[in-house]
Structure 1
Amino acid sequence: MKKAALVLALALIPSVQAAPAPAATAQDLFDEVIYQLASFYSGPSDVRAGDLRRKYLPEVQKLCDGKPECAAEQAYGLIEQMLGDLKDAHTNFYTPSQLEEVGKLLLGEQGQRRTFGAVTEALGTGGRVVLEVLPGSAAERTGWKAGDVLRRVNGVALDGQAGQAALGRASARGTPARFEGTRQGKTMNTALTAAPLQVTPVSLSLRADGLAVLRLRHFNTPGVGQQVHDALRKVQAAGTKGVILDLRWNSGGRVEEFLLSAGAFTDPAPLFLKTRVDTAKIGYGAGRYLVNGKAQEQPRIKTPARYTGPLVVLVDEGTASSAEFLTRTLLGRPSTQVIGETTAGVGDTATRFVPLTDGSGLQLTFARMLDAREQPLGTRITPQVGASVDLAGLTRTGRDSVVEQAATLLSR
């Protein structure tokens, strides 16, 4: 299922820091990236750094041939192409402006990238259907709802690549964009201006049928685990009959926040983080993040909660990294079912962000995740019950068929 989240999705175990950007050449930057790959890459690719250097060094030399100056930015496209040879979705190159944006988001600060704040999916009949409206977004302020169908933006049909490009242009301008569409078959015309958005990681809604839906969007920022514990404490106080944990479109985040979140549902088994040089045992205990059995000062949970009631976990092909780790952990929990689509398949590695000399950065797979027996984890999670959103039904009723299926399972 192809989805377009109008927000930036990030990866696992970040360490982005601001750094001065001294003058560097394209050759300097190329050499630095090769060094990082040769020294620290621990991902699934069999392609070696030396092979990449032999293949791409002549191309770098061509870039600078005969030029008195050859700035590092001249090599950006070539470095992106080179990293593509790894076929590792967790190893990527970021320009200085992209890295700055990532750093803000990972620190819980509002970035500068403008967004309408909706998760949408293409319809076979043309246009895009809204799957989720993000809290605090321009879409929420305008009154968009799940199930709304967006047909055109500024007069351009939202079909195919041209529609995607039009949507991107409209969000980047920072001026009102005119949307034409329908809500449950009735004409709906709206105007809204895309704006920077700090994506709320955790939302809780209590349903009239006595169930709770806990939406967990990412683990990117400090404090996600605390928000999960706080939400489940509210669930317990409300006396709900069961919880639907929605991990769809959750692209992952900080491994420590995943473990703290898992501790709100169960006693998670420890994992091992294996790098090129050592192996660390990580886990959870009594509200604390553990490294090699030692409780870390931060992050930690104030007044941990523990929800032990019935649970259904929702996943899809956008559920990745830490969200896959959490799903796998909860599979062994009593009274728990996982429904949805097979997950993204990056649930066995960890990445970090490495600032480079010119202010750009490298997202690098630096570790493999192992289970409690120090055996490799599977890359994907296959749900116990298959389910995909009925888009036609969503546009007719505004109701998410996968959530309703989960509610039915919990009501039995």
Structure 2
Amino acid sequence: MQVRFRSLVIAVVLALIVGSAGTYGILQWRGDLLSPGVPLTAADRAEFEKLFRSFQTLKAQYYQPVDDAKLVDGAIGGMVQALGDPFSSYMDRSTAQQFHESLGSSFEGIGAEVKSENGKIVVVAPIKGSPAEKAGLRANDQILSVNGKSLQGMNVNDAVLLIRGKKGTVADLEIQRPGVKDVLHIKVVRDTVPLTTVDSSMVEPGIGRIAITQFNENTGKEFDDALAKLQAQGMRGLILDLRGNPGGYLEACLEIANKLIPNHGIIVQVVDRAGRKDVHRSTLDRAPFPVVALIDGGSASAAEILAAALQEAAHDPLVGQKSFGKGTVQTELDFPDGSNIKYTMAKWLTPDGNWIHQKGIQPNYPVTLPYYWQLPPLSITRPITPDSTDTSVKIMQNFLEALGYSPGRTDGYFSPQTAETLRAFQQAKGLPPTGILDPDTAMALNDAVIAKEKQSDPVMQKGIEVLKSFMKA
């Protein structure tokens, strides 16, 4: 699909234009080529003369030979960085190549969207089913270091190069999690991350679930196939799970919205610096079934476009937590050497004209998650014995408590009562009842908590409850 945004153009990328440890969530339009640009003023020419003289001086007089390409890359990177916009960036040839490769059907890495925020590298969302998600990475986690190398003040592209890596290698991450005092240590084994973006199932008679992990070039077809399969099984209402979805192609978002937004309603409005609007409307006449969408802090950009359209244009309810809040538009400019810049050039508005940037979308039915959902998994390499104090002990105690055991305390001190409780858990799982936290016990605790989360997903449960009330109306 081609969408013309007046004379603006190139590949317009609407989403988190951020370095990604796995893939980049982008929402892209292709239109006419950008015009040659605004004519340079005398003041502009003077500034460029200063830039050119600086280049000439360093090239000729620096005490060591300089790399011309590095100087130019640094100048462009600094220019873009001076915008103070976390969604604008310069990518050299190798980084840009990784960016485009990450848009394929799979990639090697940990599988998480990240962004730069006030000089910090912050997780937007781990991709569902990715090594990052399995290791316990969460939205809004700040990555402090990778394999001992600090990311503080590092630009997002350089951080991405450190986080990504070959399948089978380990990314040892130091994490600062909002609301958690201690620094967390999470080891992620890099792997091939497939970009199958749609998962579906019947959760109850008449109620289907479709989870969209991001919007890529295949998502529209995957959604159509899933929808047809569920309807053949008697689906009369849909739970659309957009949790942890960091964004994607506009075309895919529009394709899906055209199946869900009735009455030719507005899907999204894009506004440029002159105030001109490009309004996208649905092609659907009538809603085929009631829909309830699930969102959280990892639902961003294209996911927010679809969620807002459902909430405001289709009047379908949202359940979960406030979304991420990404309401700006970026465009991509490619250079002949393979490098490119991405910079913000517009903003997008919801059907009712709301700008959700840095505010997010509030669900109609907020759901508070249990405390243990925010804890990282247990990751230990050596046994931890009683009468010791350790962050892993604190996580273990919280896990035991969540599973219905009584460790006596949750402050990280491995007390005799905690050891006795751990023995009871080990015995129930067929493990040697040593009362020592070893790697096998840690894995069993992780598995038990994950199973509990899947069985008692409060957001999904609330979504089903709300959808049933709409189906009866």
What's the TM-score once normalised by structure 2's chain length? 0.55
Residue of structure 2 equivalent to 1:299 = none
Residue of structure 2 equivalent to 1:99 = 96
Q: Quote how far apart the aligned CAs of 1:372 are.
A: 6.4
Deviation readout 1:209-248 (Å, 9 max, x if unpaired): 76433211222x3232232232222222222353222222
Question: Aligned equivalents of 1:341 and 1:50: distance in 2?
Answer: 51
Tell me the SS of whatever aligns to 1:263. helix
Q: Quote how far apart the aligned CAs of 1:264 are.
A: 1.5
CA contact (8 A) 1:64 1:70 kept: no
Residue of structure 1 equivalent to 2:321 = 341
Tell me the SS of whatever aligns to 1:234. helix
Residue of structure 2 equivalent to 1:9 = 24
Q: Which amino acid in the other structure matches residue 346 of structure 2?
A: A
Q: Which amino acid in the other structure matches residue 366 of structure 2?
A: G
Residues 1:406 and 1:165: Cα distance change in structure 2 (over 3 Å): farther
Tell me the SS of whatever aligns to 1:197. strand
Residue of structure 2 equivalent to 1:217 = 213
Q: Which runs of structure 2 are paired with 1:72-83 in the superposition (5 Å)? A: 72-83=69-80
Residues 1:332 and 1:99: Cα distance change in structure 2 (over 3 Å): same
Q: Quote how far apart the aligned CAs of 1:13 are.
A: 1.5
Deviation readout 1:67-112 (Å, 9 max, x if unpaired): 1475233243453443334343432222212222222344x3444x
- The percent identity for this pair of structures is 22
Question: Aligned equivalents of 2:44 and 2:210: distance in 1?
Answer: 44
Q: Quote how far apart the aligned CAs of 1:392 are.
A: 0.5
Residue of structure 1 equivalent to 2:466 = 409
Residue of structure 1 equivalent to 2:367 = 387
Kindly indicate whether residue 109 of structure 2 is the aligned counterpart of residue 115 of structure 1.
Answer: yes
CA contact (8 A) 2:110 2:163 kept: no
Question: Aligned equivalents of 1:60 and 1:71: distance in 2?
Answer: 12
Q: Which amino acid in the other structure matches residue 86 of structure 1?
A: L
Q: Which runs of structure 2 are paired with 1:7-406 in the superposition (5 Å)? A: 7-13=22-28, 61-62=53-54, 64-68=56-60, 71-106=68-103, 108-111=104-107, 114-117=108-111, 134-135=128-129, 161-162=144-145, 172-177=165-170, 194-207=190-203, 211-219=207-215, 221-240=216-235, 242-267=237-262, 268-270=264-266, 271-275=268-272, 280-285=278-283, 308-332=288-312, 336-347=316-327, 349-369=328-348, 377-379=355-357, 380-392=360-372, 396=402, 397-398=449-450, 399=453, 400-406=457-463
Question: Aligned equivalents of 2:304 and 2:142: distance in 1?
Answer: 31
Q: Which amino acid in the other structure matches residue 348 of structure 2?
A: M
CA contact (8 A) 1:174 1:193 kept: yes
Question: Aligned equivalents of 2:47 and 2:463: distance in 1?
Answer: 50
Q: Which amino acid in the other structure matches residue 333 of structure 2?
A: V
Q: Quote how far apart the aligned CAs of 1:329 are.
A: 0.8
Tell me the SS of whatever aligns to 2:259. coil
CA contact (8 A) 1:10 1:251 kept: yes
Structure 2 segments unaligned to the other structure (5+ residues): 1-18, 61-65, 115-124, 150-158, 173-186, 376-401, 403-448
Deviation readout 1:178-211 (Å, 9 max, x if unpaired): 99xxxxxxxxxxx985234342222213325764
Q: Which has the higher contact order (CA 8 A, sep 6+)?
A: 1
Residues 1:393 and 1:282: Cα distance change in structure 2 (over 3 Å): closer
CA contact (8 A) 2:29 2:250 kept: no
Q: Which protein shows a greater Rg?
A: 2
Question: Aligned equivalents of 2:244 and 2:280: distance in 1?
Answer: 25
Deviation readout 1:20-40 (Å, 9 max, x if unpaired): xxxxxxxxxxxxxxx99968x
Q: Which amino acid in the other structure matches residue 8 of structure 1?
A: T
CA contact (8 A) 2:23 2:113 kept: no
Q: Quote how far apart the aligned CAs of 1:262 are.
A: 0.7
RMSD, aligned α-carbons: 4.7
Question: Which range moved further: 264-273 or 387-396?
Answer: 387-396
Question: Aligned equivalents of 1:215 and 1:14: distance in 2?
Answer: 24
CA contact (8 A) 2:207 2:235 kept: yes
Q: Which amino acid in the other structure matches residue 58 of structure 2?
A: G
Structure 1 segments unaligned to the other structure (5+ residues): 17-34, 40-48, 121-130, 151-157, 180-190, 288-305
Q: Which amino acid in the other structure matches residue 191 of structure 2?
A: A
Residues 1:192 and 1:255: Cα distance change in structure 2 (over 3 Å): closer
Question: Aligned equivalents of 2:90 and 2:355: distance in 1?
Answer: 26
Q: Quote how far apart the aligned CAs of 1:402 are.
A: 2.4
What's the TM-score once normalised by structure 1's chain length? 0.62
Question: Aligned equivalents of 1:196 and 1:322: distance in 2?
Answer: 24
Figure out how many residues of one structure are paired with residues of the other and give that number: 328
Residue of structure 2 equivalent to 1:128 = none
Residue of structure 2 equivalent to 1:123 = none
Q: Quote how far apart the aligned CAs of 1:60 are.
A: 7.1
Question: Aligned equivalents of 1:160 and 1:90: distance in 2?
Answer: 18
Question: Which range moved further: 267-276 or 325-334?
Answer: 267-276
Q: Quote how far apart the aligned CAs of 1:376 are.
A: 6.4
Tell me the SS of whatever aligns to 2:28. coil
Deviation readout 1:294-328 (Å, 9 max, x if unpaired): xxxxxxxxxxxx86333221222332222221111
Question: Aligned equivalents of 1:208 and 1:50: distance in 2?
Answer: 69
CA contact (8 A) 1:245 1:313 kept: yes
Tell me the SS of whatever aligns to 2:333. strand
